Structure 1
Amino acid sequence: MAAKEHLQEQIRHLPHRPGIYKFFDDETIIYVGKAIDIRKRVSSYFSKQDHNKKTQQLVKNIRRIEFTIVDSESDAFLLENNLIKENQPKYNILLKDGKTYPYLCITNERFPRLLPTRNKINDGSRYYGPYANLTAMNVVLELIRALYPLRTCTYNLSPENVAAGKFKVCLEYHIGNCKGPCEGHQDEETYAQYIQQIRSILSGNLTVPKAYFRERMTAAAQEQQYELAHALKQKLDRLDDFQAKSTVVNAALSNIDVFSIASNEKSAFINYLKVMNGSIILTQSIEVQKKLDETDAEILAPMIMQMRTEFESQSREILVNTDVPGLPLAGVTVTVPQIGDKRKLLELSIKNVLYLRKEKESMNDRSKDVNEVRIMEGIKRDLRLTELPKHIECFDNSNFQGDNPVAAMVCFRNAKPSKKDYRHYHIKTVVGPNDFDSMYEVVTRRYRRLVDEGASLPQLVIVDGGKGQLSMAVKALKDLNLWGQMAVIGIAKRLEEIYVPNDPLPLYIDKKSESLRLFQRMRDEVHRFGITFHRSRRDAATLKTELTDVKGLGPVTADKLLTKFKSVKKIKELTELQLIEEVGKAKARILLDYFSQQETPAASSGS
């Protein structure tokens, strides 16, 4: 399948769900994107014609697509950012404006400031985030600044500078947003209490600040400061609405590996999520071909070890969807969570692995269908047929030195064997080894029966042989008034020449053609099927002659014994009681005497 067709096939099986998608060239990730609907977003790259040159270049280099499902758009935002920072895809640099998701930073200085930033600096400051939803971050920042009078200036408020009176209060002080620590109007201990409460809010612990606001609101109401109480009530409501959606999962879940597995008869599919500080920083989904009938646990155990090594995981906790006993990981707990946030995280992994399995199975089925259609189209083109040969039948004769002539027919539907439609034929009207007349007989019998039963006729009939067999097949169809309703060809023994009616010259098909390979497969199959039948009939005839030579044993009894036990050897191994049960006491005695007479000369000759 061409690269473009392969990508289109992948896109058709992408989910209509929120998540991230990854574009790969031959080996590496070249772009990571986010989407509310993964399939629609990825499809737009290939369906729109008005992309800029950079996007066009990206699309030209895509060879493979992967995706990860998440629960919400905000989760997709953060996961995209984490993957970009982790993998640094080439085209994210070209196509994006270079921004990363923001953090809230409490600076490492006397009278710390709270400020948004996109750059983390290792200077002792505390960073909270990253925030996938910029609006949510601004709400929190606005709330904190409204509730806690923090300074915004960049002055160095060392005790010496403040004591020396180097700074003057600014407008923020006069409008009530700052208490003026630059002039010593606010003590450091009270300011530190504010910072501690701010850290609680940014860490997702709202208990302390809620209690603080509630106490202040109650006090303001008691003092009849209703406007202040109303303002504090609004802040409380905003705190209730606020959730720490700066993480894909619960912020309390830190440094965890999540593995899930789903399998079918041929393959196992594994999804790996790595969680650090409440964020999914890595996702990987793989397919493992089964060698034997391994259980999910037998496959998952070595894959956990391999993937943890590949991604240098030091996690002390692993979540899985099936028990994996005996993992050689000292100090690491492996659990199958049933409830809570860990279960939700595992279900997210399971959702991804089930989509991977469904996608692969659908693509395999579709790929098979595409291959079959391609083969049939090739046959139609090579033989210049008027319709697609969805139903093909192939005939062959088989005899041994003129004895026991039989014929066989194999049927292929949609370029695949349809074994329920295979047929054997005893040649009834032909005496001696006459392949031409035998072909006429079996073709006549086959299609007379199909017509009588009202069954559909094949689009193509193949006879194994050259011009002679082909002419007899054509004569049979003409005598049945079916000529022109199906195409007929003859295949010469070397399989390099294909004969068509009314053309003395053979048709040569490219030896690498899929059409020729299918014809060869059908010829081999009809040979196998016919020879097997011929041998069984010949052997049965030989055995039947031996038994019917026994005086006192008729053909009915011989048939009965051979049908059940298949060979004379097995009949000889039966005990007297077993023979009596099969044919009665008198005939059992006849057989035993006969077998005993056969063995006596052999014994004598060996003495």
Structure 2
Amino acid sequence: MYSLDSELLYVGKAKNLKNRVSSYFRARGLNAKTVALVSRIDHIEITVTGSEAEALLLEQTLIKKHRPQYNILLKDDKSYPYLHLSDHAYPLLSYRRGKRKGAGRYFGPYPNSSAVREALSYLQRLFQIRSCEDSYFNHRSRPCLQHEIKRCSAPCVGIISADDYRRDIEHATLFLEGNSRVLLQALQASMTAAAEALQFERAGEIRDQIELLRRIQERQFVERGDHNADVWAVIEWQEILCVQRMTFRAGRMVNSQSFFPEDRAGDGLETVLISYMSQFYLGGHAADGLPDVIVADVAIEDLVVLLEALRIQEGAKMTHARGVRGEQRQWLHMAQENARAGAQTRISGRQAAKLKMQKVAELLGLAAAPGRIECFDISHAQGEAAYASCVVYGDEGLDKKRYRRFSVKEVTAGDDYAALENAVTRHLTRLKDQDDLPGLLLIDGGKGQINRISTVLENLAISNLPAFGISKGTTRKSGWEYLWEAGAERPIMPNAHDEGFRLLQHVRDEAHRFAITGHRKERAKSRGQSEIESLPGIGPKRRKELLLHFGSLKNMRGAPKEEIERVPGISKTLAAQIFARLHGEE
């Protein structure tokens, strides 16, 4: 379905095309979301496929490619934490987040970083696997503190043999794979063998491992059979949709995730759930593998097409259960309760954010609570690598997807006023064109900065955007800040415990953190790059010839232009350009 300007609004599949399309154009019975979609439709294009499974695969491909605004979109952009077992003679087991591109093996994903660090702590206590990076490991001459507190077997100095360390790694792998029964049997066999060989100290150590392992299992897991299942549920609570996925592997719950899609087309809960599941599995988001069975309270005929598409695309033979009896019923109930809790938590967060926004409006004397606060800050080191940051606080708290950084290079080094003016002008010009201005503009600065930004607003003909500066008071202590309105001679000096004031402090501190992060990255990048790499017309070969000829950049800068011309591959014109760059004559 396309709009008048050929914007793709919605992609759908249908076994009966006439019934499906006509359902959007009924005279009555349509909800407000569907009416909003229909009001924008200008024309419809149709593609005929060979089967329903092919239609589903095509639908998911188009949704992933074009991301139509009225489709259920999979919001899975956050990076989940993993445990990484490195590819090394003495492997390192460590915490990792982001793309899984390092050599070795990954275990996860885990629901949060705390779960990963807890598992890592258990494994260090159980099997004494090293936690140091390779650069540290390769240069040790004596055991570190981790060995002294029995968290590492010190393979760096040969206290444990390669075979024994490999055995510990195999046991840790069994633990992470959930094969605790096999692991317990292996440990018990090792304990018996050590006792029979009269190695009673070693047998005692293995006994302690077994006891700790059993305590961990009692704390972390509830036995649920031996199935690999994904359990799905969807809840709508006060206009908040929450899709819950609970992952069971070898009968144990290993993950639980909450997703919050938007049903802009008004398709209904069951359609939302099936659409979300389709994008999740066909889009390759199941990082912990495909299950043997999908447990969801939907009709089997509604999942037949998805299961067939997975068989075609992944070669996976999966089944469906509605969760009406036994352990699957308990799983489904658990998923529904978690979905309800997730929706309630989301609502609580929104309500808290709205209340804080109202407090901000009361503090600043605004006519209405701002729907969105955007805060700017500048970070640089004596003018070097100047960066401006813009952070956003919305109706659900800090909205990190809308954060922006601006590299400020067109202004005089160290001129914070000009840097702020440059960044704010660029940002607000774009938002004005999109008719998406915030409800409040906050500047990390005092009277001078906010008056400069007031001029920017006048130049852009933006008259309805309240702007305030927040600056440290004379004591330079947190809680004693001043709030400045453009044109005001005296600042607002709020109570340190005012909720609105504390929110503005929080947003300002986040803008400061975000700006410093960008500045440090840029500065580190420049520190790791030689000035010779920025010379005009100089590639790797000419760079090598210059360094061979002069030995250093310092010698090159002190040499006359005629000396540069003698370097192989450097013409007179290029030598003149290099000389001018080195002496700042450009």
Q: Pick the TM interval, shorter chain.
A: 0.3 to 0.5
TM-score normalised by the chain length of structure 2? 0.37
TM-score normalised by the chain length of structure 1? 0.36
